[in-house]
Structure 1
C-alpha cells in the first residue's frame, strides 16, 4: 500500500534562495516582489513534481532560540535581513494561505526543529520529503525521509538519500552532526575545532565514527597540531555538536489534519498574483500558459522555400555542439518568431541551407528587420563564413544579462532561462552533448530541439531583461555601447592579424640556445646537474647544498616560488639565472611555440574577444590571449615583431590612451592638484613626487618619480602599505607614511575613496561614468578580509570600469570615422588601452590625425584625454 506524502518546506531558507536568485523586482506601487515571485515559482514546481497529500511550511519564530542558552553567539555573524526581502515575508505567507498550505512557527525554536520533529513523528506512516537550502537538514535523511537541497537558481535541487550522503561524504546522515561538531559552520557561527575543515573532519569520522569516538582515540592521532587543537577545544567540539543537532522532539502543536492539502483558493490566489502584477502567473490561473514548452519545430527544406514568409521580428540562435563558435560538428540556426495569430513557431536551418538560401541571406542582412540574438558576436562570426553580414540586431541575451549583473558572465542560456523563471525547461549543453570523453553529437531531432528551446528562451527573455535594464538605467549602456561593439568585435575576429611565422621560429631557436646556456651556467654554479623545473630538486640544491636561507616550506619541501626567490636574489648569483631561465622558458613555450599553433591557414591569428566576462567591463582575449604578451623583457617585446600587416605596402598603426585611469581618477575625485597637473600637460608622476616630497621639479630624482608612480597607480587598486613596501622594497612604516602623505596632499582623492565606499555600501553596488554596475554584497561581510577587498573594489570599479567603457566607446566612434572617411584601414586589436590598426602606407598620415582626434573626443572629462600613436612594419616597431 502506497504511503501518503508529507511535504515539509523550510520557509525562511526558500525565501532567501528566491530573493538572491532573482534580480530586484517591484510592482507599480514600489513594493519589492522578486522573492515572492520566485518562491511562488518554486512552490509550483514542487507541487507539480511531488503531488503531496499533506504539506506544511515551517518558519523561524525569532532570532533567539534555545541554542542561545548554550552559546549566546550562535548565528552571531549573520547579516541583517535586507529590507527588500523583509517586506516580502508577509506576501509569501499570504500566497501560501491562498494555496491552502499550512504554516507553523514555534517560540524559541527554528524551522529546522519543527521539520525535524514532524519528520520524526510521521516517518513511519508517511513518505516524508523535506525541501530546504540548508544542508544541516541532511542529518534527517533516512530510508523513509528524503531531503532536497536547493542549488542554483530556483529549480535546481540535489536529492539526498542515505546512499547519496554516503556517496558524497563517505558517512551516514547522523554523522553530519558530528562533522559539524568538528569543523563548525560559519553560516551559523558554530565554532567547531580550529584547524579542522571538512576534509579532516570526514577523515576522522571514517576512522572513529563520532565526536565521542574521536576523543576516545585522541592518543592515536599523531598529527601534532591537530592533536593539540582537538585537546584544547574539546568542550567547544561537544558544544558545536550539540548546536548542530536538530531537535526532533520539539513541543509542537500540529494536528495531522492541519497539514491536509486540498489545493488553492483560486480567487484568493488571483488577488495575490494581481498584487505581484505577474502576467505569467495570472495566465497560468486561466490555463493559458504551458507548463512545458509547446512549440512546433519546422525543418525548412529547399522545396518549401517559396512558401517561407520571413518575419519582421525574430530571435536567432546558432548551435555549434554547445561550444560557441570554435568547433562546428553541428551547425543549425534556429529562429523563433511570432506567427500571424500570435502563436510561437521555431524554424530550423542546417549548414547547407544557411549557405545557399538567398532569401534567408537577404532577410538576415536587412537592417530594418528587428532581430533578437542569443550571442550577436558568435552568430555574426559564424555567418561571416558564409558571406552573410547580420544586421538589425536590437537585443542580445548574453550581453543584456551580463550588464544587468556581471555575475551572469559565462552563464548558459539554460541557467539564464531558469533564473528568469521561464515556464519551460531549457536543457544544459552538458546534458545534451555529454561531458569530457563522453561528449558527442546526439540525434538530429535532439540537438535541433535543444537549439529551438534556446531560440524561444531568447524571444521570451526580451521584455523581462530589457525592463531590468531600464529600471537600473543601464539600457543605453547595453543598446548604445555593448550591442554595436559586438558587431565590431566580430569583424575584428574575422579579420584577424597577420603573423610572420619565420620570426617566431627564429626567436624560438634563439631562446632555445639562450636557455641551454643558462642551464649550463646554473649547473656550474650548483656543482651538479638536476631538473631545474623540479621545485623539489631545486629546493635541495638551493637550501641544502648551497645553504641559502629557507623562507617558506610547503608539504613537499622548500618553496621555490618566484616571490621567495626574488627575496633571496642578493644571497647568490644562481637565483637571478634561475628566475631568467623560468621567464624565458615560459616565453618560449607559451608564446613563441604557443602562437605558432594558433596561426590559421590564411596566415593570421584570429583571437577571440570575450565581451561579457570581466566584472570591470574590460575586454579579454583568448585563443590566443594577445593581451598578456610580456613586454618587460626584450625577448618578450620581440614576440611582437611577428605581428605584421596582411598586405604588401601596408603598415601597422597603434594608438593608446596615456594614463587614462589616472585621468578618470582626477575627474571623479575632482582633486584640484591632479586636475591642474593634467590640464597643464605636466608629467603626473613628477608632479606627485614634488607634492609628496616637497621638492622642486629639478630635485625630483628617478627614485622619487618611481615611488610616486607606484603610489599613483597603486591608489587606483587600493594598495596597502604592505603592497607598496613590496613594490618599492622599503619598510612598511615608510610605505604607510608615503601613502598618508599622498592622501593628505591629494585631499580630493581621499574624499573620493571614503565617499565611494559609503555610496557603494548604501546602494549595494559601485558604478562607472556610463552606469555600468558591479554589485558588492561583501561590503557588509563580517570578515575583515572579505569586506576590505569589497571596499577596494568599490574604489577602483568606477575608475577601471569607466576607462574600459571609454575605450569601448572610442572603438565605436573610430569604426564610424573610418567608414566616414572611406579608408581601407582596419581595426585589428584592442589591448587594454591600446587600439591597433593596419592601413596602406599612404593612409598613415590620415590615421595620425583622426585616430587621436576621435579617441580624445570620445568623452568630455574635467581633464583632457591624451593619445599617443605610432606606426611601423610590425607591432614591435609601433
Structure 2
C-alpha cells in the first residue's frame, strides 16, 4: 500500500460487484405500492418496486458486476434446526409470488445471472457470493433486509432503502456502529438476544432492542456473556454479577434459545453455490429486450432510466433488435450535392440537423447541415471550412432554396435551435412541421430524458454516439470545427436519421392521444416566434431601472431600520436563524400552529402570514421580503 493511502482510499478505486436480494426488493415494492396493475389487470406493484430500486441502485453504485439472488420455495436447513422457523410469518398474498417470475424475466433481459439454491435462502447465497476470492472488488449488497448487515466488512457494504423506494442509505462498518453502537460482527448476537418475530427466531423473551444493545456493549458476543454469567473466575464476572437478578435468570434460563437463535440468524457463507464473477459482468445486454419488457409492463416512467449499453456492436437496432441498413454520406462534390437536392425536392419532408461551434445559438457558427428523408440513410453537407476538409467551394444556393421551400416539411429535434442557427446564417427554415422533443414532452410531460440520445435509447434500444467522443471533456474540450469532418458527418447523420425515425413513431402517438391540436396549432407555430424573440432580445430602459433601483434601495433601508428598531437591535433579516431568535426568543411571539423544520421553527412566508396579527414586526418583514 502506498504511503498515506488508506484501505478506504484504495477501496474507492476498486471495481464493484452489486449483489441483489431479489425477494427482499419484490416484498419492499409490493408493500410500498399497494395498488398497481397493467391495463390487462395483471398486478405489477412488486415488479415495479423491484425495477425502480434496482435501477436507482445501478445509477448510484455504478457497478462493474451484478448478481441477483432469490429464495427457493420449500424448507431450508434452518427448518431442520428449528421446525417452527418462520412458522408465525403471515404468508404474503399469492399475487406477490405470482410477480417473481416477471422480476426474473427483467433480470434476464439485462443478461444477468440468477443465483438460487434449494434448501438455502437468498441471504445464504449472497453471503457465499461476497466471500469470492476476486481481489480489488468491493461488494455492495442491495436489499431491504438488515440481516445482511452481519456481512459488512472492509470490502462489503449494504445498500438499502431508508424511506419509500428512492431514499437510500449505504451501511459500511462505521454506519452499522452508528446505528447500533457496535460493529457488524455483533449483529447476529443482537438477533440472538432480541429475537426476530418476522422469522419466529425466539431470542431471549423479555429482552428488547435497547437491552440487547447494552448487553453486547458490555460483554460482546453472547458466548462471552454466558461465560461471564456461569464462570465467576472470568474477567467479566463482576459485570455479570452487577446485572439485575431478574435479567440474569432470564438469560440463564433461556441460554438454549439464545444460542439456537444465533445459529438461525447466522448467514451461511459456504452454501453450495457456484460463482464466476466474469459471468456477472454488467452492461452488455440487448436493450431492445429490456425496453420491450418495460413497455409490456407499462412502466413508462422507467424507460429512460435503463442503464446505457457498454459493449454495443455498431449498427442501428430497431425496436425488435434487428439490424437496419446504416448508410451515412459526406457530400464532398457539387455533383453529389446537386443529386441530393434533386432527391430532396421530390420528398414530402425530411429531417434536418445542424452542426455548429456552440450550444448557444447566438454565438454558434454554422459548420454543416445533415438531412435524412428515408430511415437508415442520411447526408451531411459541410458549409464552412472544417478540419481535414480544406475548401470544397460547394455552391449551396440550391440547398438554401430547398430549406426555404414551404411545400417540403422540415422535421427536427429541438428544431428551434436549428431554425435560429440557420436564420443567423441567412436561411429562413420553412416550414417547421415536427419537433420530436416537443412531441416527446407532450406524450410524457413528467419525463426528464428528452435529449435525442435518451429518446433513441428509450424507443429503439440504440446507444447513440456521445458528442464527447468527438470534442472531449473538461479543459481539453475542443469544438466541432477542429474535429475531422468525416467524424462530424457520421455524428450529424446519425442525429438526422434518428430524428426521422422518432418523428415517424411519435407522430402516430400524438394523434392517438388526441394531442394533434395542441401540437400542430399551438406548439409548432410558436417555435419561430420564440426563436426570433430570443434573437431580438428585450430592450431595457437602463436609465429608468437605475433610478428605480435607488428608490427601492432607499425604501428597503428605511424598512430595515424600522425592523431593527422594533427588534431591539441590528440583525440579518435574511437569516432564518437570527430571525427565529428575534421573533420567538426576544419578542416572545406565540409559536402556536407554526410548523417546524429540521432546524426548528419555520420562518417561511406561509408561517409569517399566520403571525401577522400577533406583532407589528411581522408585516414589516413580509414587506421587506417582497
TM-score, scaled relative to structure 1: 0.41
The whole-number CA distance in structure 2 between the counterparts of 1:420 and 1:15 is 26
With over 3 angstroms needed to count, the CA separation of the structure-2 counterparts of 1:199 and 1:501, relative to structure 1, is: farther
Secondary structure of the structure 1 residue equivalent to 2:588: coil
**Contact conserved, 2:356 with 2:368, CA < 8 A, in 1?**
no
- Say if 2:25 and 2:143, in contact at 8 Å, map to a contact too: no
User: 1:129 Cα shift?
Assistant: 12
Q: 1:120 to 1:132 in 2, by over 3 A?
A: closer
- Displacement of 1:420 in angstroms is 2.0
Q: Does the C-alpha gap of structure 1 residues 581 and 322 become closer, same or farther in structure 2, counting only changes over 3 Å?
A: same
- Inter-CA distance 364–233: structure 2 relative to 1 (3 Å threshold): farther
Is the Cα–Cα contact under 8 Å of residues 453 and 463 in structure 2 kept in the other structure?
no
Q: Secondary structure at the match of 1:408?
A: coil
Is the CA contact (8 Å cut-off) linking 1:322 and 1:433 kept in structure 2?
no
Deviation, structure 1 residue 398: 0.5
Q: CA deviation at 1:407?
A: 2.7
Kept after mapping to 2: 8 A contact 1:318/1:451: yes
2: distance between equivalents of 1:449 and 1:430? Answer: 12
Q: 2:556 corresponds to which residue?
A: 515
- Which residue does 2:13 correspond to in 1? none
What are the ranges of 5 or more consecutive residues in structure 2 without an aligned counterpart? 1-16, 28-36, 56-62, 80-84, 191-207, 222-261, 281-288, 297-315, 387-391
Q: Report the counterpart of residue 313 of structure 2 in structure 1.
A: none
Indicate the residue corresponding to 2:456 in structure 1: 417
1:102-121 aligned within 5 A: 112=122, 116=126, 119=129
Map Cα deviations across residues 147-206 of structure 1 (whole Å, 9 max, x no partner).
xxxxxxxxxxxxxxx9xxxxxxxx744342xx75xx75755999x9xxx99999478279
Alpha carbons of 1:106 and 1:451: their partners in 2 closer, same or farther (altered >3 Å)?
same
- Give the whole-Å Cα distance in 1 for the aligned partners of 2:96 and 2:428: 52
Deviation of residue 452 (structure 1)? 4.3
Please point out which of 231, 234, 237 is paired with 2:210: 231
- Which residue does the alignment assign to 1:828? none
Q: Which residue of 2 is the match for residue 566 of structure 1?
A: 609
CA deviations over 1:815-858 (Å, ceiling 9, x no partner): xxxxxxxxxxxxxxxxxxxxxxxxxxxxxxxxxxxxxxxxxxxx
Q: Against the structure 1 CA distance between its residues 474 and 548, is the aligned structure 2 distance closer, same or farther, given a 3 Å change threshold?
A: closer
Specify the SS of the correspondent of 1:314: strand
461-470 vs 197-206, which moves further: 197-206
Contact in 1 for aligned 2:21/2:70 (Cα 8 Å): yes
Q: CA distance change for structure 1 residues 126 and 456 in 2, over 3 Å: closer, same or farther? A: farther
**Residue correspondence of structure 1 range 224-373 to structure 2 within 5 A:** 231=210, 248-249=269-270, 280=318, 284=322, 288-289=323-324, 296=328, 298=330, 309=341, 311=344, 312=347, 313-319=349-355, 323=359, 325=360, 328=363, 331-337=366-372, 343-350=377-384, 357-373=396-412
Cα pair 2:24 2:145 within 8 Å, conserved: no
CA distance in 1, matches of 2:471, 2:337: 30
Q: Taking structure 1 as reference, are residues 523 and 494 closer, same or farther at Cα in structure 2, changes over 3 Å only?
A: same
Mapped to 1, the partners of 2:608 and 2:448 lie a distance apart of 37
> Aligned in 2, Cα 1:10/1:72: closer, same or farther, shift over 3 Å?
closer
| Contact kept? 1:298, 1:346, Cα under 8 Å | yes
Q: C-alpha offsets along residues 486-536 of structure 1, whole Å, 9 cap, x if unaligned?
A: 344434544555443333333222211211211222233233333322333
Query: Take 1:232 and 1:74, find their aligned partners in 2: how far apart are those partners?
Result: 30
| Alignment deviations for residues 386-445 of structure 1 (CA, whole Å, 9 cap, x no partner) | 34322234432201221222233453222222212343433266995646x787646424
Measured against aligned partners, the alpha-carbon deviations of 1:720-756 in whole angstroms (never above 9, x if no partner) come to: xxxxxxxxxxxxxxxxxxxxxxxxxxxxxxxxxxxxx
Aligned partners of 1:513 and 1:189: how far apart in 2? 46
- Superposed counterparts of 1:704-743, under 5 Å: none
CA distance in 2, matches of 1:554, 1:281: 48
Does structure 2 conserve the Cα–Cα contact (< 8 Å) formed by 1:74 and 1:189?
no
Q: 1:28-43 to 2 correspondence within 5 Å? A: none
SS at match of 2:370: strand
User: Would you say the 8 A contact 1:316–1:333 is kept in 2?
Assistant: no
Q: Separation in 1 of the partners of 2:508 and 2:335?
A: 41
The TM-score, its normalising length taken from structure 2, stands at: 0.54
Distance 1:501 1:413, change over 3 A: same
Describe the shift of the 1:203–1:517 C-alpha distance in structure 2 as closer, same or farther (beyond 3 A). farther
Per-residue deviation, residues 448-493 of structure 1 (Å, max 9, x unmatched): 6554433333133333334544554545654455333434443454
User: 1:174 corresponds to which residue?
Assistant: 156
Give 2:541's aligned residue. 500
Alignment-derived partner of residue 534 in structure 1: 575
Given that residues 380 and 487 in structure 1 are in contact (C-alpha distance below 8 angstroms), is that contact kept between their aligned partners in structure 2? yes
Q: Distance in 1 between matches of 2:318 and 2:185?
A: 51
How far apart, in 2, do the equivalents of 1:12 and 1:334 lie?
52
Which residue number in structure 1 is paired with residue 442 of structure 2?
403
Structure 2 CA distance, aligned partners of 1:355 and 1:573? 75
Corresponding residue SS for 2:505: helix
1:384 offset after TM fit, Å?
2.9
Cα distance in structure 1, aligned partners of 2:516 and 2:74:
41
Query: What is the root-mean-square deviation in Å for CA atoms of aligned residues?
Result: 6.5
When residues 401 and 80 of structure 1 are mapped into structure 2, their CA distance, relative to the original with a 3 A threshold, is farther
**2 CA distance for matches of 1:203 and 1:559?**
33
Helix, strand or coil: the match of 2:571?
Answer: coil
Residue-by-residue CA offset, 1:662-690 (whole Å, 9 max, x unaligned): xxxxxxxxxxxxxxxxxxxxxxxxxxxxx
**Is 1:210 matched up with 2:184?**
yes
Contact preservation (8 Å) 1:348, 1:452: no
Relative distance call for 1:92 and 1:338 in structure 2 (3 A) is same
Quote the residue 2:565 is aligned against.
524
Cα deviation code 1:342-391 (max 9, x no counterpart): 74434444599999943332111212223320112232233332343222
2:625 to 552, 572, 582: 582
Q: Which residue of structure 1 aligns with residue 523 of structure 2?
A: 482
- In structure 1, distance between residues paired with 2:395 and 2:378: 26
**Secondary structure at the residue paired with 1:420?**
helix
Structure 1 residue aligned with 2:60: none
Kept in 2, the 8 Å contact 1:333–1:349? The answer is yes
Given that 1:297 and 1:345 are in contact with CA atoms closer than 8 Å, whether structure 2 keeps it comes out as yes
Check the 8 A contact 2:334/2:395 in 1, yes or no: no
- Equivalent pairs counted in the alignment come to 468
Q: For residues 174-193 of structure 1, what are the structure 2 equivalents within 5 Å?
A: 174-176=156-158, 180=160, 186=164
Larger radius of gyration: 2
2:416 is aligned, of 377, 389, 397, to 377
Do 1:8 and 1:115's aligned partners in 2 also have CA atoms closer than 8 Å?
A: no
Q: Alpha-carbon deviation of 1:580?
A: 0.8
